[in-house]
Structures are given as C-alpha cells and as structure tokens.
Structure 1
Amino acid sequence: MKIFVTGASGFVGSAVVNELIGAGHAVIGLARSEAAAKAITEAGARPHRGALEDHESLARAAADADGVIHLAFIHDFTRYAASVAVDVRAIEALGEALAGSGRPLVVTSGVLGAAGGVVATEDMPDGSAFPRRSEAAALPFGARDVRVSIVRLPPTVHGAGDHGFVPELIRVARETGVAGFVGDGANRWPAVHRLDAARAFRLAVEKAPAGTRVHAVAEVGVPTREIAAVIGKRLGLPVKAMPVEHFGWIGPMFARDAPTASEATQKLLGWQPTEQGLLADLESAAYFDR
C-alpha cells in the first residue's frame, strides 16, 4: 500500500513510518518544514510539503494514496481549542478526499475519557474531559465508504525521544524540587511504548474494519505515585502529594484516573505489545540525561 502519514516526522509518527516501511508499504509523509522533509526522506519515505491548515495539499496527497494515517496535531495547550479546530478541519479534508473509495483513514484520539475507577474499553464512545473531537469528525465518513478507524493513545507514549507528558512532569519536579502526585497517587495512567503504538497503527490501516476503535494501550494503568517515585529516585528529590496547581497545565490530566483496556484490540488485530513498560523505561538515562 501507498500510505500518506501526517505527523510523519514526530515522536510517534516517525516510528509509524519505520513500521510501515518495514512491512513493505510505501510512505508519503506530510512535511511542514525543510527539517521535517529531510527527516522523512532519511527514513526512506517521500515528503509531501504542506501543513494541517493547507486542505488542498492534504486532499491531494490523500487522493493519491491507498490509505491515510492522521497523527499530526498542534500540541499548543495554551491554545487548545484552536488546535482542536485545525485538527477537525484537516480530518474533514482527508475524509472528503477518500469518500466513496473504500480506502482506510486512521485517525488518532486519546483515552482520557474514562470515568474514575471505570476501565475504558474500545466500545465506549469518546467522553474525554480533554476532547480532540477527532472521533466525531472522522467516524461519519464511514457512511461515505471510507474505512475509518480510530487509534486511541494513552497519555503516556514512552520511549527514547519522548517530549510529552512524562518529560513535562520531570521538568516540573526539577524546577520545584518535588516529585509530586495528586491526592493519594492511586489514580492510574495507561501507557504504551512508541514502537508498540506504531504496530497498532500499521495493523489498523491494514485491516481494521470501518468504525473500529483501537486502544494502543500496553499497560492498563500505572499508579501516578509510582511514576513520581521513579522521578524522585532518579532526581534525588522528595516524593509527596501536591495540589493540582503545582503541575501547571498538565495538572488536571495528571490527576485523572483513566485505566484503559486493550483486550478487544489485541484479539481483533492480533496486536501484542512486546516492549518494556513505562516504569522500566523511566529508569533509562534517556529521560534524565537532557
């Protein structure tokens, strides 16, 4: 298959590109900059210059592909609503380009919609407290002969090169002198290694039925106090409960209890996580020697 990937030079996207190429697919990667185009080329894919706001460019690449994986998102949490709006319009442009073709469109979402103490499963609709609206934008295209599937990622996609939520927690700990957690720290964050996540995206574009929600989740839920404990040990800092405000913008997310299952995904796609877990990964120098 020839697959168009947005976010192809990103932390997860670059792993997806490598996974697709390793499985024999040809990849076209959306490149917003010369640096992104260079990285995509070096990975063995073909860059396609454009941006999420350039709907004509998105549609052109999607129409020329056998399938699309949409990973790109503007991670500016100071303008989150604006980022969500850009994402929705990009998904609509991709969906319109694929309408009537039967080709796959894989769209990225998150799993933070779980209510406290309830293990989220794939059949649950998106009820996130931090909605990206990607699912609502993409799923209607299933009725227009697009093989739409949703890959939900946990808040912690870890591995070398991670610059997401856990590095932000490490930054806060360094600046405040405390490796904190919220409440009793029993609230759980699901997690997945980026390489396991990449395999889930590949399997989704290859064979996920229309309307499928995929949970790329290897660990149902790691207690946040255990995440804080590793950070504290590695930085030589005290570990203790702190108010939500202590963590800045990430605080409300770090306070969520969001256990998430992936048994249905594993059965449907034959996906089996094989990489090391979050706490073992946090013991590596990659997270602290920066």
Structure 2
Amino acid sequence: MAILNDLIKRGVRVVPRWPSTVVGASKETLGFLLAQGWDINARGYSPNDKQPFMWLVATDYDMVKWCLEHGASVHPRGQELFRDGVTKTKARRECQQILEIVAPHGSIATFDLLRSKGAPLGWRPLHLAVETATYFSPSDKNDDVKHIERMAMVHYLLDVVGLDVNAPDQPVGSKILPMHSGTPICYISDGMLGRDNRELTWLLLDRGADPTDALRFAKSDSDFAEDVKEWKAWKEKQGGDGWEAKQGCNRREAKEGGDSKCCVQ
C-alpha cells in the first residue's frame, strides 16, 4: 500500500489495465484500487485475457462474495446478455458464463451465491463438471478428495439445479466449436490418468443420459462401452441380484490390480 500511495503522489496512474494483473491482491489493495477508479467489471482486450476480474477468482468463495459486494456484475460487459433457454447463438470468442467456470472448478456454495444474484447457467455447466470429474487419479489420496468434490457438484447440478442430462453444449445445428463434445456423457474420458469412471457413467445413465453419441466415438472394448453394457444388463435384472454389474466390478478389479471402486448410484 505504501508503494501505491507513493506512486500516486508521483502522479503515476495505478489503475490496472488488465484484470489478470490484480489476481492475488489483498482485499485491502483491491478496495484501494476501486477508490482510485478501477473498474471491477472491465475486461482485457486480448483474446487470452478477456474475462472480468471475478471470473478469474471464481474458485474462491470469499473473493467472489467480496466482488459482488463491490459492484461486480454476473454478466460479461459488452456481450449479449445470455438468457437460459432463450439464447440461441454462441460465438467462438465470447466470454463463457461464470457458472461454467464454477461448475468444474468451484464450490457448490459459490454456485448458489452467483445463481442467487442472477448469473445465467450458460451452455455447459454440467458438461464441464462431468469432464473435470474424470481428471483425477484413483491412486492419489488428494486426487480422490478432489474427485469426491467434483462428483458432489455433478449430483448437485442434476438433482438440485435440475439440469438436463442430455443438454447440447452449443446451439443445435451450428458448426461444431473447438473443445465441444456433445451431451454431458460425451465428456467422460476413458483413459484419463487411469480413473475408473464407472460411478460417473452409471450416475448419468440412471438420470436418463442417452449414450448413443458417446458410444459412436468410443472403442467397442473401452471401459466406457463396457460400463454402458453392464448398466443396461443391470437395469434389465433390477429384480434380481445385479449379477452382471457385480461381474463387471470383478473384471475391472482384476484388470486394475484390485483397487477399482464400484459404486452403483
């Protein structure tokens, strides 16, 4: 703070030009910058630095709360207002909605807070939450904790928010955008760091996910294809003891050295 005050006395403008340059600053410093005319909703001019400040701290509940209390908007400035269920276009270079950042990386509390302030869901909150849930290695204790957190978010989006498990990730009929895979179940990666995605796959299938498109691009002998096949067999025998599902768990455990987890949702 002393340095900033000294710069101001020398006539130097201290208002940050890029939102990313103040990430990590204390709330005291940010408050000081606001008093000097910093626009908390300003966006960078570079395609790689186009998000407002609150987007860049979206994984920090306390910082998001502070931003909202100090004038941060839940809508990216200069961009057509996104309206869930109404907006029918998606530009390549648009700034994603903030809930599309919180869903895969932030907390449920942050998601709830932003929704209460009118933040739109955007196109892909569930898709990206599903994708992130596949990222962590089952052999790493810290990764298992993260996986549990991400699975909790997927459950929340499906069962509390009520998102469509078969929602498209872009306008129907539009040209396929980079890094877009289709419906949420298409975002499950078979081989990401050895993660067993059976629990996630079965959860989406139980909630009504259509695996047709995902199976079209998956190898016939992949874990994903096997999980879908076993889920269908289990559903057909719900009145029995779920033998096919149990056999699937046994096969997976044998293949992965006995450490695989089987969790039918």
Shared topology, TM-score over 0.5?
no
Structure with the bigger RCO (C-alpha within 8 Å, sep 6+) is 1
Q: Which has the larger radius of gyration?
A: 2
Q: TM-score w.r.t. structure 1 length?
A: 0.30
Higher helix share: 2
